[in-house]
Structure 1
Amino acid sequence: MTNQRIPTLAVSTPRKPEVVIHSNDAQIQSQTADIFYEAGDYFEAMKSYQRAIEIDPNSGNYEKWVESLEKLDKNTKHKAIENLEKRLASKPEYVHAYFSWGLALHSRKNYAEAIEKYQKAAELKSDYVRAYDGWGLALYDQTKYLEAIEQYRKATEVQPDDAFAYNGWGDALYAEQKCAEAIEKYQKAIGIDPNSGNYERWVECLDKVDKNTK
């Protein structure tokens, strides 16, 4: 039995690699994509990032894939997304992939699209707490505070010790000028994880409530 060697990537010009590696190794595909991306060849970068994601949907570089997509024309973008959705639809265990996709969109302030992916993750796995966390934050970032509270509430129902959700819930209540209720949520978050609480707003709310009771 001969040892199989993984091919390495050679670069002949600053524009693009000399060869495209057809490998079933997600890491190699991702490295190939990085080279295309740095060379400014966003179409080839997108294809390689997508190959990596399709090989291992739960650990692909969705952020770079989304960045590459946004530099391409609408039809190419639509086709790439359609192909990936077909791939993800084949196996429900790819729930984390939808969350990662949502995060990538969220980081670029594509809130509506991010929420679609968080929602899909929650539909596939109703106790996937990170989907509700992301969903709540995307709503909060759009100043939809009451809707955000609903998602944070769901997160804490799934995972009662979700400090992130309690802290986000507190922020949403703070934004709604409901300091007394916000204090309760901030303290809950701090009690679970002392490093997670929004201490500045917690103290501010304590001062406001104290002044109002005098």
Structure 2
Amino acid sequence: MKNLPTLLILALAATLPFTAQAKKKKKNAEEPIEQTNLAVYLLKQLNEREEEAYDRYETAVAEEDVDQVRRELQSIINGYEKLIASSPDYAPAYVSYGLMLNRTGNRDAANAIFLKADELDPMVPVVKNQLGNFMAEEGKYTEALGFFMLARDLAPEEALYQYQIGNLLVAYRKFFVGDGLYAAEEIDDHIINHFQKAYHLNPGEISYKMRYAQAFFDVDYPDWETALVTWQELYRAAGSEYEEQVVKLYIARVRFEMGHHTAARKLIKQIDHPSLDESKKSLLGSINAEYPQ
């Protein structure tokens, strides 16, 4: 029938009983739904296989076990390719595939997939975030900032996107200032505020608070009083003696920046972990240079 002339097809359709035409329309309407349900099912299977493969890779010891996982990952990649070919407008498939490609080091291919995902559905924050990462790695900091801000706007309660913006502003601070996009003091405020918001949105993640505290060393106009309070809070939250000593070293640096060189020296004397020796010597050298004994 597909090869019949169009007029002949229309003529045949016109002779069908009304009920038959109605059934045909109903079937055609259900096909996209059935296709979507199948795509959802296949994507779930691929996601589960992928996570299982990563778990096996982390515990693999023998080379044949590693090779087996690699073959499985390639099979999953092939599965994503087939799913996208059969459901080319199903955005979640592109998102998962892009994340897998990125996780396995295929960043250029991942970016192309994320661009397609963004074209199909521009309201997915994780896609904006991944595109921002790619732009940042390519040195396209203004484009990266745009993507990270879109991710933040789409998911304002997600700490990660505030964190991403803060890190980008630190990494490209001189370029943002040099381009006139931010004044020096203005960008400092933004850096501190983004890391602070990330911590407030997810206070249970200690790494966010640590990064917020470290941000005071990244700016030209830090509020050392607030920095000191933040580092003291981290000291009380430390989970081990080593963590206490790491935080104590940061507190010593803050005290030095505040002009409290005697207090800074006392704190440094309390630090004896071998891995911190070089940092201790460096900080003590800076203190002695500015405040000779």
TM-score range, shorter chain: 0.5 to 0.7
Indicate whether 1:139 and 2:169 are aligned.
yes
Supply the distance in 1 between the matched residues of 2:105 and 2:136 (Cα, whole angstroms).
Answer: 10
SS in 2 for 1:57: helix
Please tell me whether the aligned partners of residues 122 and 132 of structure 1 are also in contact (alpha carbons under 8 angstroms): yes
Q: 1:67, CA displacement in angstroms? A: 4.5
Please tell me whether the aligned partners of residues 26 and 55 of structure 1 are also in contact (alpha carbons under 8 angstroms): no
Superposition pairs of residues 50-69 of structure 1, within 5 angstroms: 51=84, 54-55=92-93, 57=95, 60-61=99-100, 63=102, 67-69=106-108
Indicate whether 1:201 and 2:250 are aligned.
yes
Equivalent position amino acid for 2:120 in 1: R
Supply the distance in 1 between the matched residues of 2:131 and 2:237 (Cα, whole angstroms).
Answer: 26
Instruction: Flag the 1:110–1:26 CA change in 2: closer, same or farther, 3 A.
Output: farther
Supply the distance in 1 between the matched residues of 2:212 and 2:138 (Cα, whole angstroms).
Answer: 20
SS in 1 for 2:121: helix
Instruction: Flag the 1:161–1:81 CA change in 2: closer, same or farther, 3 A.
Output: closer
Aligned counterpart for 1:108 among listed residues 137, 146, 164: 137
Q: 1:63, CA displacement in angstroms? A: 2.6
Q: 1:201, CA displacement in angstroms? A: 3.1
Supply the distance in 1 between the matched residues of 2:132 and 2:115 (Cα, whole angstroms).
Answer: 18
Equivalent position amino acid for 2:261 in 1: K
Aligned counterpart for 2:219 among listed residues 152, 171, 176: 176
Q: What residue ranges of structure 1 are gaps of 5+ in the alignment? A: 1-22, 36-43, 72-76
Instruction: Flag the 1:212–1:203 CA change in 2: closer, same or farther, 3 A.
Output: closer
Instruction: Flag the 1:205–1:53 CA change in 2: closer, same or farther, 3 A.
Output: farther
SS in 2 for 1:126: coil
Q: 1:204, CA displacement in angstroms? A: 1.8
Aligned counterpart for 1:158 among listed residues 193, 198, 201: 201
Supply the distance in 1 between the matched residues of 2:157 and 2:191 (Cα, whole angstroms).
Answer: 17
TM-score calculated relative to the size of structure 1: 0.55
Q: 1:54, CA displacement in angstroms? A: 4.0
Indicate whether 1:130 and 2:160 are aligned.
yes
Indicate whether 1:96 and 2:126 are aligned.
yes
Supply the distance in 2 between the matched residues of 1:116 and 1:65 (Cα, whole angstroms).
Answer: 26
Instruction: Flag the 1:69–1:172 CA change in 2: closer, same or farther, 3 A.
Output: same
Q: 1:125, CA displacement in angstroms? A: 1.6
Equivalent position amino acid for 2:218 in 1: A
Please tell me whether the aligned partners of residues 199 and 209 of structure 2 are also in contact (alpha carbons under 8 angstroms): yes
Instruction: Flag the 1:153–1:171 CA change in 2: closer, same or farther, 3 A.
Output: same
Paired position in structure 1 for 2:59: none
Supply the distance in 2 between the matched residues of 1:56 and 1:193 (Cα, whole angstroms).
Answer: 41
Superposition pairs of residues 6-21 of structure 1, within 5 angstroms: none
Paired position in structure 2 for 1:117: 147
Paired position in structure 2 for 1:211: 261
Please tell me whether the aligned partners of residues 129 and 159 of structure 1 are also in contact (alpha carbons under 8 angstroms): yes
Instruction: Flag the 1:182–1:109 CA change in 2: closer, same or farther, 3 A.
Output: farther
**CA-atom RMSD, angstroms?**
4.6
Larger radius of gyration: 2
Equivalent position amino acid for 1:83 in 2: K
Q: What residue ranges of structure 2 are gaps of 5+ in the alignment? A: 1-41, 54-69, 85-89, 175-186, 264-290
Instruction: Flag the 1:122–1:106 CA change in 2: closer, same or farther, 3 A.
Output: same
SS in 2 for 1:176: coil
Q: 1:68, CA displacement in angstroms? A: 4.5
Equivalent position amino acid for 2:119 in 1: K
Per-residue CA shift, 1:79-106, capped at 9, x if unaligned? x5542212332xx5x433433x157427
- State the number of aligned residues: 174
TM-score calculated relative to the size of structure 2: 0.43
